[in-house]
Amino acid sequence: MMDNLRDLYQEVIFDHNRNPRNFHVMKNADRKMEGFNPLCGDRLTLYLKIENGVIQDASFQGSGCAISTASVSLMTDIIKGQTLEQAEALFEAFHKITTGNDDEANLEGLGKLAVLAGVKEYPSRVKCATLPWHTLDAALKNQGNSVTTE
């Protein structure tokens, strides 16, 4: 594969695209939020189980490109066990690394999510990576029941 494309399509991305984690409907979810990218048709439904201000469980359903599928798969893994404040902080940090507004963004604190930092070199694909996070943000703020990246 073309070397520089490897920065975006790392093995972790392929892995999560082939075998998305937490890919199921959650029947007893406390929050359910739909995310839609009208540009490319990426569509997902995010489910959250929240107790005492902590995300106990997260899952999703939907279809999208490899970048958005890997992003939502990674996100649902990483936010489990986090407080709502921690999840919001992660959203802010993730937004910064993918939009390239902060060169010195703390990649270490993002763990596996750092693999998506390469997307900032592909302006047309940034929304693929950030759609799940915007959906999460809307779910945490309890805004309506759907969010789009447009």
Partner 1 sequence: MNQLVTPIGKHRFESIYNIGKIRADFPILSQRIRTKPLVYLDNAASAQKPTVVIDAIRHNYECDYSNIHRGVHSLSERSTAAYEDAREKVRAFINAASEKEIVFLRGTTEAINLVAQTFGRANIKEGDEILITTMEHHSNIVPWQMLCEQTGATLKVAPINRDGELILEGFEKLLSHRTKLVSVAHMSNALGTINPVEKIIELAHSRDIPVMLDGAQAIPHMKVDVAALDCDFYAFSGHKLYGPSGIGVLYAKAELLDAMPPYQGGGDMIRQVSFEKTEYNEIPFKFEAGTPNIAGAIALGAGIDYLEEIGIQNIADHENQLLQYATEQAKKVNGLTLIGTAKQKGAILSFVLEKIHPHDIGTFLDHMGIAVRAGHHCAMPVMDFFGVPATTRASFGMYNTREEVNSLIDGVQEVIEVFG
Q: Is 28 a binder of partner 1 (CB under 8 A)?
A: no
Q: In what order do the strands lie in the sheet with 31-37?
A: 54-63, 42-51, 31-37, 146-148
Least distance (Å) from partner 1 to the CB of residue 118?
Answer: 11
Q: Is 121 a binder of partner 1 (CB under 8 A)?
A: no
Least distance (Å) from partner 1 to the CB of residue 88?
Answer: 28
Q: Is 9 a binder of partner 1 (CB under 8 A)?
A: yes
In the block, which residue shows the tokens 């490899």? 66
Is residue 45 a contact partner of residue 61, using CB atoms and an 8 Å limit? Answer: yes
Beta bridge partners of 48: 31, 58
Interface residue with partner 1 among 24, 25, 41, 102 (CB under 8 A) is: 41
Residue (68 or 76) nearer to partner 1, CB: 68
Q: Is 23 a binder of partner 1 (CB under 8 A)?
A: no
Nearest to 135 by CA among 44, 11, 65: 44
